[in-house]
Amino acid sequence: MISSFKKSLDSGKFIVTCEVAPPKGINLEKTAHHIDLLKDKVDAMNLTDHQSSVMRYPSLGGALMVKEMGGEPILQMTCRDRNRLALQGDLLFAASRGINNVLCLTGDSVMLGDHKTAKGVFDLDSSQLLAAIRILEKGKDLGGNDLDGSPVFCAGAIVTPEANPIEPQLIKFEKKIEAGAEFIQTQAVYDLVRLKTFMEYARQFPVKILAGILLLTSAPMARFMNKNIAGVNVPQTLIDEISQAPKGGAIVKGIEIAGRMIRTIHTEKICDGVHIMAIGKEELVPDIMAAADLTS
């Protein structure tokens, strides 16, 4: 079944996706609240998969919640925790429940998370997972066996436009597209000049690109990301802007900055859409969209 997200991608409209993190535990109230708040405002919402290698309620369970609540999920799948049998099985399960959008990720090292001594699987990598999806769609599994009923997916991947060095990342980016990626959500970008440079290159490929917009919540948070998150570079001008916000006003300033960036990306048609990451503050996504003059 063609997903509504795929139809949105093909429609040529400016796409907005966001993230919802499943809870640490089985209290689903906050997750349900975020889904309810956002499901009619965005084109689709990503369900993160043990983000930063922190064990949580699974992305598949979160995606099912979104579906059941009438939203459009993008199932994030990392290759860190499952071998090819488990990944394929989960894909079949997802498709059987109407979850037809998948974002394929390698996954962070388990050493960065809260189960540091666990085994990192990485039986497949992100490009091989994309290729596996295309094989399942043809009615086969990775072992070459026939499927009784084959799934259909809208498959995506990520890229880090500000990676340094960029060239090895771009080769991987091209391999992901070759393997079957239809959409790309980028790592958080803040420098739109560099984003434009990346997009001049990326436009040659048949793939929709959604710019990653990560809400800045404070100057220390921005500095932390610059120091610790690969490929994220918050320019000093933005850090200064947020530090000069009145006391208690950093978040408001962060929303304003995110809204401004999205508006520029939209009006200048830099990308096909945006992927808003408001880590832990998903209730602010409508405010960010309003600041960007985006109506749902």
Which residues of this protein are in contact with another protein, per CB under 8 A? 80, 84, 105-109, 111-112, 120, 122-128, 131-132, 142, 158-160, 163-165, 167-169, 171-172, 174-175, 178-179, 187, 230-231
Q: Considering beta carbons, is residue 132 or 222 the nearer one to another protein? A: 132
Q: Considering beta carbons, is residue 28 or 142 the nearer one to another protein? A: 142
CB of 212 to another protein, least distance (A): 11
CB of 71 to another protein, least distance (A): 26
Q: Considering beta carbons, is residue 168 or 248 the nearer one to another protein? A: 168
Q: Considering beta carbons, is residue 266 or 275 the nearer one to another protein? A: 275
Q: Considering beta carbons, is residue 30 or 84 the nearer one to another protein? A: 84
Find how far residue 189's CA is from the centre of its chain: 13
CB of 94 to another protein, least distance (A): 20
Residue 275 has φ and ψ, to the nearest 5°, of -120, 110
Q: Considering beta carbons, is residue 34 or 80 the nearer one to another protein? A: 80
CB of 28 to another protein, least distance (A): 29
CB of 80 to another protein, least distance (A): 8
User: Which run of H or E residues covers position 44?
Assistant: strand 44-47
Contacts of 99 by beta carbon, 8 Å cutoff, 6+ apart: 60, 63, 64, 67, 73, 75
Q: How many CB atoms lie within 10 A of CB 180?
A: 21
For 178-205, the DSSP string reads: HHT--EEEEEE---HHHHHHHHHHHTTS
C-alpha angle 35/106/136, rounded to 5°?
Answer: 80
Q: Considering beta carbons, is residue 48 or 128 the nearer one to another protein? A: 128
Torsion of CA 19, 20, 24, 28, to 10 degrees: 180
SS (H, E, C) 49-84: CCHHHCCCCCHHHHHHHHHHCCCCEEEEEECCCCCH
CB of 44 to another protein, least distance (A): 21
CB of 227 to another protein, least distance (A): 10
C-alpha angle 184/69/18, rounded to 5°?
Answer: 30
Joined tokens for residue 55 = 């064990």
CB of 60 to another protein, least distance (A): 21
For 211-225, the DSSP string reads: EEEE----HHHHHHH
| Contact status, residue 154 vs residue 102, Cβ threshold 8 Å | yes
Q: Considering beta carbons, is residue 33 or 116 the nearer one to another protein? A: 116
| Rg, the chain, Cα only | 18
